[in-house]
Chain A
Amino acid sequence: GAGVSQSPSNKVTEKGKDVELRCDPISGHTALYWYRQSLGQGLEFLIYFQGNSAPDKSGLPSDRFSAERTGGSVSTLTIQRTQQEDSAVYLCASSPRVGRIQETQYFGPGTRLLVL
């Protein structure tokens, strides 16, 4: 079946512009996670969705970052007034059910963001 998809695959933007990154999880998966992969910080958690609500936003680095999820499916990560330090690969993952520690997270291919 189809895996997690993300769009765009690559995004180049100018400093100060806003960007939107999209994630389509595996159909029926209720848990959705955003992570960021950067050279200096490695792989770090950003935000977690349980259905359409986000009980854990602890990894969002600043108030310029926000995310939403609609219909228990698609999620959008928005970065306002982008800065060069936002350049990274943004990865989305989903897992079938909420609250099950044995669940595997399945990752999308990522969006590579470059802020000039």
Chain B
Amino acid sequence: AQSVAQPEDQVNVAEGNPLTVKCTYSVSGNPYLFWYVQYPNRGLQFLLKYITGDNLVKGSYGFEAEFNKSQTSFHLKKPSALVSDSALYFCAVRDYPGGYNKLIFGAGTRLAVHP
């Protein structure tokens, strides 16, 4: 069965510093991976996805993610954090094949960016 793990409940970073939010995955077959962000009392907003191709994926709001097949990881990164990046971040894997493409989510990581 497909699964993702987000090993950190919370990540704290100072504004202007680089940030990394970690995600590891376990799949049978090819991985199709997504990152979403959730601001307070809001739905999930799509950031980026890896389907195939380049291991470095660029997304919205200056975020990028690095796909590493040997380490089965898909870490989210940003070179310089903003206070406004503070939110809840979810990594997800597509349940494929046979799962009608539904998403299986990690537990989420709360990012706190301090001024």
A contact residues vs B (CB 8 Å cutoff): 4, 6, 31, 33, 35, 42-45, 48, 50, 55-56, 59, 91, 93, 95, 99-110, 112
Main secondary structure of the interface of B (DSSP, over half): loop
Contact with A along B78-115 (1 / 0, CB 8 A): 00000000000010001110011111111110000000
Closest to A46 in B: B102
Interface segment, B12-20, B39-47, B69-77? B39-47
Check B32–A105 contact: CB distance below 8 A.
no
Q: Is the CB of B49 within 8 A of A102?
A: yes
Please report the C-alpha to C-alpha distance between residue A12 and residue B23 in the assembled complex, in whole angstroms.
Answer: 35
**Interface pair A104/B49, CB less than 8 Å apart:** yes
Does any Cβ of A come within 8 Å of B51's Cβ? yes
Chain B contact patch, size range: 20 to 34
Partner of A99, one of B42, B101, B108: B101
Residues of B in contact with A (beta carbons under 8 Å apart)? 32, 34, 36, 41-46, 49, 51, 90, 94-96, 99-108
**Do the beta carbons of A33 and B45 come within 8 Å of each other?**
no
Pair B99/A56 contact, Cβ less than 8 Å: yes
Contact call B105/A43, Cβ cutoff below 8 A: yes
Contact call A101/B32, Cβ cutoff below 8 A = yes
Are B100 and A105 in contact (CB-based, < 8 A)?
A: no
A50's closest neighbor in chain B, by CB? B100
**How far is it, in angstroms, between the C-alpha of A43 and the C-alpha of B37 when the chains are bound?**
13
Q: Is B105 within 8 A of A55, CB to CB?
A: no
A33 B102 Cβ-Cβ under 8 A: yes
Contact of B45 (CB < 8 Å), options: A6, A31, A107, A110: A107
Once bound together, how far apart are the Cα atoms of A113 and B45, in whole Å?
Answer: 20
Q: Which residues of B contact A33 (CB under 8 A)?
A: 102-103
Closest 10 CB pairs of A and B: A43-B105, A107-B44, A107-B43, A109-B43, A102-B51, A56-B100, A45-B102, A48-B100, A42-B107, A110-B43
Q: In the complex, A21→B59 CA distance in Å?
A: 31
Contact B105 A31 (CB under 8 A): no
